[in-house]
Amino acid sequence: MRITALNQDLADEVLKLMNLGSPYVRARTPSDYWLYARLFASTCPVALVDGLVVGALIGMRSQEDPFEIYIQDVMTHPDHRRRGVAGALVDIVRRRGREWGCRRIYLTSEPDNARAYAAWTSMGFANTPGDYTTNGVSITRDFKGLGKDRAVFELLLP
């Protein structure tokens, strides 16, 4: 597996990969991927196997709090799961965060995304206390706007 930063040549393949992520990940538009490659490439690693895109992570460093990185989407191709792809992508962002002196990487997942819960906790993310609990997962009400309850996960950097 090779990991590289998102670039314009990979943007279309990353969009296609994200299209396989329903119901938990939805592809954004081509101009969104253009923008991620243009402005946020260093926190948008892409995993390739034999030249094919098998995983991608879209993350951004906050402008409001430059010591935070938000991960918007993580997706591994269904044929390549449980092989450490997502872990390797998160490691790249974790390393980048350390280089920048960031304190926190965080992300959200849908309340019923048990696979994501297992992945984030195994990578050292903590499920931040929210407003209620579903199947042992703490959920923050309206985190992403009215009616958009989310499980929030954070990884504190030393």
Ligand X SMILES: CC(C)(COP(=O)(O)OP(=O)(O)OC[C@H]1O[C@@H](n2cnc3c(N)ncnc32)[C@H](O)[C@@H]1OP(=O)(O)O)[C@@H](O)C(=O)NCCC(=O)NCCS
Residues at the contact surface with ligand X, assessed by CB under 6 A: 21, 24-25, 74-76, 81-87, 109, 113, 115-116, 118-119, 122
- Considering the complex, state which of residue 38 and residue 148 has its C-beta at the smaller distance from ligand X: 148
Q: Are 37 and 7 in contact (CB under 8 A)?
A: yes
- Considering the complex, state which of residue 25 and residue 155 has its C-beta at the smaller distance from ligand X: 25
Look at strands 104-109 and 68-76 and give their pairing: parallel
- Considering the complex, state which of residue 77 and residue 96 has its C-beta at the smaller distance from ligand X: 77
- Beta carbon of residue 75, minimum distance to ligand X (angstroms, whole number): 5
- Beta carbon of residue 41, minimum distance to ligand X (angstroms, whole number): 20
- Beta carbon of residue 84, minimum distance to ligand X (angstroms, whole number): 5
Extended beta strands in the chain, E state? 2-5, 45-49, 52-61, 68-76, 104-109, 126-127, 132-134, 137-139, 151-156
Kindly report the length of the chain: 158
Rounded CA separation 46/54 (Å): 8
- Considering the complex, state which of residue 80 and residue 103 has its C-beta at the smaller distance from ligand X: 80
- Beta carbon of residue 101, minimum distance to ligand X (angstroms, whole number): 26
